[in-house]
Structure 1
Amino acid sequence: MKIARFHRPDGPTRLGRVDDDQLTDISDLVGTSLRAILPDLTELRPQILAAHGVRHALADVVLEAPIDDPQKYLGIGMNYREHAEEARQAGIPIPTSQLWFNKQVSCIVGPHDPVVKPAISDELDYEIELAVVIGRRCKNVPADRAREVIAGYLVANDVSVRDWLQKRSPTFTLGKSFDTHGPLGPWLTTDDEIADPHGLRMRLTVNGQVRQDATTDDMIYNVFEQIAYLTQVFTLMPGDILATGTPSGIGAPTRTFLQAGDVVRAEIDGLGAIENRIVAEP
């Protein structure tokens, strides 16, 4: 099951079930907040699948970030083997345990919204990531039960401002949290549709040129281990987003950074694609 947040041009935000290139409005059934229904998603599933609301072509609506108001948006650094090696070659030491950082939730934008290149930096980089959405409140979750707390998955581009990430701040938070630097989408694909989140191909292109092409089986710490690690520390809440790491091919090692006018497309098999144009800061 795929659920999107969307609006018609100049209309209010609605929720819809995605079926191929069509979208069925389910807002009269469940409301307009995807985060709010996540704890009840399993029980609501039969009603959502049977819903016969107003239908729209996907091409006629504007997709919004599926979750735009999580309590937490967390990312793990250097969690792909080949990416960790390219980072090491760029002078960044490989961590010996899970390395987590915050992306401030104000960075979140929709799957086709523009991404702003800040005037204060020329080191704007891309990172395709599998994002996990937590479905229910959870604490101290063992890895072998972590899948029970996952609502579903998104495509994420963990946009990074490298000089603020590695040079201007002792933590990753500032370089990861510029406004518009958290495009997500295109919709929530529920966990039951994905046989194995560690066997998904991911591709990122810039202006049609492939920059990243890998599979999620190159993770150092898998999705379930990540959830187990985090929930030793704090409670994860419905709608919390975990960006699970990026593969090799980022721009930093070759200093191939994004420029205004570039179009970045990130796609993960089974989850869809997001595509964002880079624009100069006004």
Structure 2
Amino acid sequence: MNRRVDGHALGRFDDGAGPFTGLVVGDRVLRLQDDGLVKGPAGYLALLEEWPTVAPRLRELAQEVTPADSVPLADLRVLAPVEPRQVFQAGANYRSHVAQIIVSGRAPDDDRSEDELRRHAEAVMDETARSGSPFVFVSLPTAICGPDDDVVLPRDAVQVDWEAELGVVIGRRAHKVTRAQAMDHVAGFTVCNDISARDLQFPPQHKALGGDWLRAKSRPTFLPTGPFLVPADQVGDHRQLRITLDLGGERRQDDVPANMLFDVPALIASVSAAAVLLPGDLLLTGSPAGNGGHWKRWLQPGDVMDTAIEGLGAQRNRCVAEEG
């Protein structure tokens, strides 16, 4: 996949000799040196721990990158740009998605028309946004894979789904921050695809206890991320970034974050009220309508997903069957 960035971004790469962190400018990558921007190795967490001072220095470096001190992006393997200690995920956070859930989940004896159901869904969402709180769960960082890596479909699941999402990277410790303070704690944004085994998510034996988020969402390769961490100062209005997902060349999801029920500041305020967000943590903000349940289509070996967010880049992941 041919990639380039407008402005600059942070990424993780492998040149055949091992992983390293680099600054992407256009279609070239500058390897960040140890004892440069931070004391010691220029690893992901070290940079994010010092993000308030690192971010302006990255802007300065980006102005100085030349072909002599950088390498072509096309010559490198692109890894997931983040190595978070914690991953938080918002669920049912797009108006289009919630409307689909309500309409498709009607009871057999519900004789309302689709228009009536949609009006009901709009009223439910308006009230939720006005007086409710976001639904957020925690998943494992070990689910993360790179933007070009294969997604492994487990043997014990047959309804594996996709969810294109805007990922928010935390750049400053956040605990009990207000909505007004929230964006000051954002380092930048990235592209995520929250793969989910729907037939494992709500097993009958655990129905009284809720969803099985571990088996359904935290499997290795179930969170393709990247290609880059684009700093917040390199992104215009993140609410207008177009999110798309194509499966086998067919458009399945298409929306913008402006249609979230709870926006990024609200999510950060809500999560930080209950937990401590650490520099480098990843917050997924929910997925638009157009998941597999709507299309009556689940991921199969050989499927190719193209997930993109305007201004942040694109990923392409092939689905493969679990071996053994």
- TM category (shorter chain) comes to over 0.9
Q: Does 1:146 align with 2:182?
A: yes
Cα distance, 1:84–1:6 mapped onto 2, change above 3 Å:
same
Q: Does 1:17 align with 2:17?
A: no
Matches within 5 A, 1:1-282: 1-9=8-16, 11-28=17-34, 29-30=36-37, 31-44=41-54, 45-46=56-57, 48-49=61-62, 50=64, 54-68=69-83, 70-91=84-105, 96-167=132-203, 170-174=210-214, 175-282=216-323
> Secondary structure of the residue that 2:158 maps to in structure 1?
coil
Give the structure with the higher percent helix: 2
1:179 deviates by 1.3
Q: Deviations over 1:172-215 (max 9, x none)?
A: 52211111101100010001111222111111001111110111
Aligned residue identity for 1:160: S
Give the structure with the higher percent strand: 1
> Secondary structure of the residue that 1:258 maps to in structure 2?
coil
> Secondary structure of the residue that 2:252 maps to in structure 1?
strand
2:245 and 2:306 in contact (8 A); partners too? yes
Task: Report the structure number with the largest CA radius of gyration.
Answer: 2
Aligned residue identity for 1:112: D
Counterpart-to-counterpart distance in 2, 1:63 and 1:251: 27
Percent of matched pairs sharing the same residue = 34
Cα distance, 1:27–1:88 mapped onto 2, change above 3 Å:
farther
TM-score (ref. length: structure 1): 0.93
Which structure 1 segments of 5+ residues have no match? none
2:168 and 2:283 in contact (8 A); partners too? yes
1:51 deviates by 5.5
1:75 and 1:100 in contact (8 A); partners too? yes
Which structure 2 segments of 5+ residues have no match? 1-7, 107-120
> Secondary structure of the residue that 2:30 maps to in structure 1?
strand
* Greater alpha carbon shift after TM alignment, 32-41 vs 46-55: 46-55
What is the Cα-based RMSD across aligned positions, in Å? 1.9
Counterpart-to-counterpart distance in 2, 1:222 and 1:113: 29
1:109 and 1:183 in contact (8 A); partners too? yes
Q: Deviations over 1:98-138 (max 9, x none)?
A: 11112211101111111001111111110000000101111
Counterpart-to-counterpart distance in 2, 1:27 and 1:281: 38
